[in-house]
Chain A
């Protein structure tokens, strides 16, 4: 199993550009989440999904869109990138209940200039 994979590993965008961060998992997990990690801020939840076709907002959803058409994939879209979105983005998946571990991807480091 590859676990949780994310692409790209690094990305530089100009302000106003759009892009999609890809996330995939091969563990048949129902639940997937996106977090951003900023220095001195820890990880903050952006969006999450409890199954295909079902998504919801986390703590910092503004400027990001998500969709979940399959169990495996959970892409994160930046429609118009802003410098404030410079961050490291982590995707995670789990079976959902608190007794199960949340598995994290390796992260995507995004810089918006």
Chain B
């Protein structure tokens, strides 16, 4: 069985400060990992996926298989980054309609 752990329920930073959202996973095979974001009063949307290695809204994430982590970082946080962030996993070769989500981290960026 797979599991996704986001160790911080709440994270608060000041505008312009670096931010790191942590995600650890447990899965015996090769995973596909994603970051989803939910802004206030908006629907959940995909932010990052590790297979594409793209940077969205200044966020980047690296899959570290040795540490079984998929932390995402942004060097300079903006107030509009305030949102709930979810890390999610599916087995490689599986499908993204059966995602296992972490419990989420609520990021607040203070002015």
Contact = CB atoms under 8 A, between A and B. Distances in A.
Contacts, number: 73
Sorting the interface of chain A by its residue count into under 10, 10 to 19, 20 to 34 or 35 or more gives 20 to 34
Interface stretch (B12-20, B73-81, B92-100): B92-100
B57 interface: no
B101 A42 contact: yes
Sorting the interface of chain B by its residue count into under 10, 10 to 19, 20 to 34 or 35 or more gives 20 to 34
B86 A104 contact: no
A-side interface mostly: strand
Contacts of A42: 4, 6, 86, 101-104
Given A42-B4, A98-B92, 18 more contacts: A33-B97, A33-B98, A41-B103, A42-B102, A43-B88, A48-B98, A50-B95, A90-B43, A92-B44, A94-B96, A96-B95, A96-B96, A98-B51, A98-B94, A100-B96, A101-B49, A102-B96, A104-B43
